[in-house]
Amino acid sequence: MRKTQLSAATALTLAFATPAFAGGTHGGGHYSFGEPGDPAKADRTVSVTAEDDGKMAFDMDLSTIRKGETIRFVVANRGELAHEFSIGDTGSQRAHARMMARMPDMHHEDDPTTITMEPGETKEIVWSFSKPIQGNVVFACNIPGHADGGMIHKVAFRPS
């Protein structure tokens, strides 16, 4: 699929798939679950390991996130497959998984909520959880079969 076709398909999917993105956009848009954060203002750093040895999993020590908190996620792919690390709420992750099912080779260069890592790579995302979230913050690898295989992590959101 050509890049221009992918961009148009992605925009149409997001515009109609879910209300999770306030502006109906993905790359560089407004998100219902926060916004890209400033690394210099991170309240804490969370180390994440993406694994696929026997079971797909994210290994991270994170059980709650407070509204207003900015977190730097350092994600290392220790598996033998490519993985992504995507931040969202339930609705946005559902929409992302549907897009990935239709376009499994989709890239996320312009999407501040998602990084893709090849085996052995380590990348970072800094996210500010500046907006109230209904339910949990969801971290997922939406490469087809990965979240279903266990590569999903839900974290309680505390409004204060």
HEC assignment per residue over 65-81 = EECCCEEEEEEEECCCC
Confidence band for 103, pLDDT divided at 50, 70 and 90: confident
- What whole-number distance in Å separates Cα of residue 76 and Cα of residue 115? 11
Report domain extents, the chain. Answer: 3-158
- What whole-number distance in Å separates Cα of residue 52 and Cα of residue 147? 11
Q: Is residue 140 a contact partner of residue 73, using CB atoms and an 8 Å limit?
A: no
pLDDT digits (tens, 9 = 90+) for 8-59: 444 433 333 333 333 233 444 678 889 999 999 999 999 999 999 888 999 9
Residue 29's closest CA among 14, 42, 39?
Answer: 14
- What whole-number distance in Å separates Cα of residue 70 and Cα of residue 13? 29
Identify the pLDDT of residue 38: 97
Q: Is residue 52 a contact partner of residue 80, using CB atoms and an 8 Å limit?
A: yes
State the CATH class of domain 3-158: mainly beta
Q: Considering the entire predicted model, what is its pTM?
A: 0.79
